[in-house]
Structure 1
Amino acid sequence: MRNQSVEFIMAGRRQRRRRWVLVTSLLAVLAGMLCCAMLLLGSTIYPVQDVIRALSGEHLKGVFFAVNTIRLPRMLAGLCAGFAFGIAGYTFQTMLRNPLANPNVIGITSGSSAAAVFCIIVLHSSRAVVSAASVIAGLATVLFIYMLSRGRSFSVGRLILVGIGIQAMLDAVISYLLLVSAQQDIPAALRWLTGSLNGSQMHELPPLVITVIIAAPIIIVLGKHLDILELGEQSASSLGIDTGKTRITLIVSSVCMIAMATATTGPIAFVSFLSGPIAKRLVGVGFSNVIPAGLVGVNLVLAADLIGQFAFEYRFPVGIITGLLGAPYLIFLLIRMNRKGEL
Structure 2
Amino acid sequence: MRTGGGLSLRLDRRAVVVGLVLLALALAAGVALIGSGDYPLTPAEVIATLTGGGDAGQTFVVQDLRLPRVLVGLLVGAAFGTAGAVFQTVSRNPLGSPDVLGFAQGSSVGALVAIVYFQAGTVAVAAGAVAGGLATGLGIFLLAWQRGIHGYRFVLVGIGASAMLYAVVLYLMTKANIVEATRATTWMTGSLNGRDWDQVWPLAAVCAVCLPLVLLNGRPLRMLEMGDDAAYALGVRVDRVRVLVLLAAVVLVAAATAAAGPISFVALTAPQLARRLTRSPGPNLLPAALMGALLLVAADWASQRLFGADQLPVGVLTGVLGGGYLLWLLATERKAGRV
> TM > 0.5 between the two?
yes
Please tell me whether residue 132 in structure 1 is matched to residue 127 in structure 2. Answer: yes
Please tell me whether residue 174 in structure 1 is matched to residue 169 in structure 2. Answer: yes
In structure 2, the CA distance between the partners of 1:52 and 1:25, relative to structure 1 (3 Å rule), is closer
Deviation string, structure 1 residues 221-253 (Cα, Å, up to 9, x no partner): 111111111111111111100011101110111
AA at the equivalent of 1:329: Y
Asked if the contact 1:77–1:200 (Cα under 8 Å) also holds between the matched residues in 2, the reply is: yes
In structure 2, the CA distance between the partners of 1:290 and 1:229, relative to structure 1 (3 Å rule), is same
Q: Say which of 325, 328, 332 aligns to 2:321.
A: 325
Partner residue, 1:295: 290
Partner residue, 1:265: 260
Please tell me whether residue 67 in structure 1 is matched to residue 62 in structure 2. Answer: yes
In structure 2, the CA distance between the partners of 1:276 and 1:59, relative to structure 1 (3 Å rule), is closer
Q: Say which of 67, 74, 90 aligns to 1:79.
A: 74
Q: Say which of 27, 30, 40 aligns to 1:35.
A: 30
- Greater Cα shift, 53-62 or 258-267: 53-62
Alignment of 1:39-58 (within 5 A): 39-48=34-43, 50-52=45-47, 54-55=49-50
Deviation for aligned residue 1:313:
5.8
Alignment of 1:266-281 (within 5 A): 266-281=261-276
In structure 2, the CA distance between the partners of 1:296 and 1:166, relative to structure 1 (3 Å rule), is same
Partner residue, 2:3: none
Partner residue, 1:149: 144
User: Mind listing any 5+ residue stretches in structure 2 that lack a counterpart?
Assistant: 1-8
Asked if the contact 1:73–1:201 (Cα under 8 Å) also holds between the matched residues in 2, the reply is: yes
Partner residue, 2:21: 26
Deviation for aligned residue 1:281:
0.1
In structure 2, the CA distance between the partners of 1:107 and 1:63, relative to structure 1 (3 Å rule), is same
Percent identical across equivalent pairs?
38
Partner residue, 1:4: none
Q: Say which of 198, 202, 210 aligns to 2:205.
A: 210
Structure 2 counterpart SS, 1:139? helix
* CA distance in structure 1 between the aligned counterparts of 2:265 and 2:42, rounded to whole angstroms: 34
AA at the equivalent of 1:39: I
Structure 1 counterpart SS, 2:307? coil
In structure 2, the CA distance between the partners of 1:293 and 1:79, relative to structure 1 (3 Å rule), is same
Please tell me whether residue 246 in structure 1 is matched to residue 241 in structure 2. Answer: yes
In structure 2, the CA distance between the partners of 1:204 and 1:312, relative to structure 1 (3 Å rule), is closer
* CA distance in structure 2 between the aligned counterparts of 1:287 and 1:251, rounded to whole angstroms: 16
Deviation string, structure 1 residues 297-330 (Cα, Å, up to 9, x no partner): 0111001001111113682111111111111121
Deviation string, structure 1 residues 195-226 (Cα, Å, up to 9, x no partner): 10001011222110000011101111111111
Please tell me whether residue 92 in structure 1 is matched to residue 87 in structure 2. Answer: yes
Q: TM-score, normalised by structure 2?
A: 0.91
Deviation for aligned residue 1:56:
5.4
In structure 2, the CA distance between the partners of 1:153 and 1:28, relative to structure 1 (3 Å rule), is closer
Q: Aligned Cα RMSD in Å? A: 2.1
* CA distance in structure 1 between the aligned counterparts of 2:282 and 2:152, rounded to whole angstroms: 26
Deviation for aligned residue 1:148:
1.1
Deviation string, structure 1 residues 128-180 (Cα, Å, up to 9, x no partner): 22222222221221121121122355332122111111111111111111122
Please tell me whether residue 335 in structure 1 is matched to residue 320 in structure 2. Answer: no
Deviation string, structure 1 residues 101-151 (Cα, Å, up to 9, x no partner): 111101111111110111122211122222222222212211211211223
In structure 2, the CA distance between the partners of 1:272 and 1:292, relative to structure 1 (3 Å rule), is same
* CA distance in structure 2 between the aligned counterparts of 1:203 and 1:336, rounded to whole angstroms: 42
* CA distance in structure 2 between the aligned counterparts of 1:143 and 1:44, rounded to whole angstroms: 45
Deviation for aligned residue 1:48:
4.7
Partner residue, 1:316: 312
* CA distance in structure 2 between the aligned counterparts of 1:207 and 1:40, rounded to whole angstroms: 25
Q: Say which of 112, 120, 126 aligns to 1:117.
A: 112
User: Mind listing any 5+ residue stretches in structure 1 that lack a counterpart?
Assistant: 1-12
Q: TM-score, normalised by structure 1?
A: 0.90
* CA distance in structure 1 between the aligned counterparts of 2:83 and 2:116, rounded to whole angstroms: 28
* CA distance in structure 1 between the aligned counterparts of 2:138 and 2:322, rounded to whole angstroms: 27
Partner residue, 2:153: 158
Asked if the contact 2:129–2:257 (Cα under 8 Å) also holds between the matched residues in 1, the reply is: yes
- Greater Cα shift, 49-58 or 202-211: 49-58
* CA distance in structure 1 between the aligned counterparts of 2:161 and 2:240, rounded to whole angstroms: 25
AA at the equivalent of 2:217: L
Work out which of the two has the higher radius of gyration on C-alpha atoms and give 1 or 2: 1
AA at the equivalent of 1:242: R
In structure 2, the CA distance between the partners of 1:154 and 1:253, relative to structure 1 (3 Å rule), is closer
